[in-house]
Amino acid sequence: MVNKEFEQLQSKIQGNLEQVMEIVDRAARVSGRTMAEISILAISKRQPVEVIEAAYHCGQLAFGESYVQEALPKIEHFRKHNDIRWDMVGHVQSKKARPVAENFCAVHSLDSLKLAKLLDQHRPAETTPLEVFLEVNFGDEITKTGFPACNKEDWEALVPVVRQILEMERLKLVGLMTMPPLFPDPQQSRGYFVKLRQLRDYINNQVKEAELTQLSAGTSADFEIAIEEGATVVRIGERLLGPRIYSD
């Protein structure tokens, strides 16, 4: 990519980032917090390294990927940048647990104890513990992964899961993640974000040593509402980085 094209790309992403940050700031104030308490995770799946490079030069340091095989070359390409972080937001197959544990800072999509054990087993001892979010499914959608969280019994069943994960030395359980159904009106997602915050509080009350602080919720369409209801990490893709070069 020639310098002029890169400069144009960087300028576009800078404008997008400023718009997103304005919304983050407004929503944070609604929830009684500051913008500094909210993290923007740029979802870079299906984006070329040039786009990520441009975003990095705009000051965006956290990127989220969904597919291990796509992410690994990107991570290697940016290995020289010590301040960049990579989070896994997509479903992790058991056979991909090792490369995820070895290369990512966090996994937002922890959806089983089996996966937790594999990540704990493969996380290198010389690195910091892998941050993990329990992915929870409030919508009872069979097409989505995540621990069921539709009713009181589901919430109670999560308590022993949390206790077991807390005992894993190479994992650090930091919070919860959810993905509401796709609604035509973003306001329809609000109830799911409220439940996520309530579930976080329930777990912290039931398991004192848990001390969960992070809520990964909200995407390009509904992140403002997610922040208003307590999200600490929002996952922004095309609204920040522009159209993906190819779709899923």
Closest CA to 239 of 186, 167, 193: 186
Q: In order along the chain (248 residues), what is the average pLDDT of each group of 10 residues?
A: 87 98 98 98 97 97 98 97 96 97 98 98 97 92 84 97 98 97 93 98 98 97 97 98 80
pTM given for the model: 0.96
Alpha-carbon span 38 to 148, nearest angstrom: 26
Q: What crossing angle do the helices spanning 49-57 and 3-30 adopt, rounded to 10°? A: 60
User: Domain map of the chain by residue range?
Assistant: 3-241
Residue range 3-241 forms a domain whose CATH class is alpha beta
Q: What is the structure's pLDDT at 140?
A: 66
Q: What is the structure's pLDDT at 248?
A: 57
Q: How far is CA 181 from CA 170, 185, 190, 192, 202, in A?
A: 32, 11, 11, 9, 23
Alpha-carbon span 148 to 136, nearest angstrom: 6
Alpha-carbon span 65 to 100, nearest angstrom: 11
Secondary structure E strands in 32-170: 39-43, 62-65, 85-88, 106-110, 130-137, 147-148
Q: What is the structure's pLDDT at 182?
A: 87
Closest CA to 44 of 70, 19, 21: 70
Phi, psi of 14 (to 5 degrees): -60, -45
Task: Provide long-range contacts, Cβ within 8 A and 24+ apart, for 183-190.
Answer: 183/222, 186/221, 186/222, 186/224, 186/225, 187/225, 189/218, 189/222, 189/225, 189/226, 190/225, 190/228, 190/229
Q: What is the structure's pLDDT at 212?
A: 98
Residue position matching structure tokens 């941050």? 131
The structure tokens listed for 143 are: 């097409």
Q: How far is CA 132 from CA 7, 77, 140, 242, in A?
A: 36, 24, 22, 27
Measured in Å, how far apart are the chain's first and last C-alpha atoms? 24
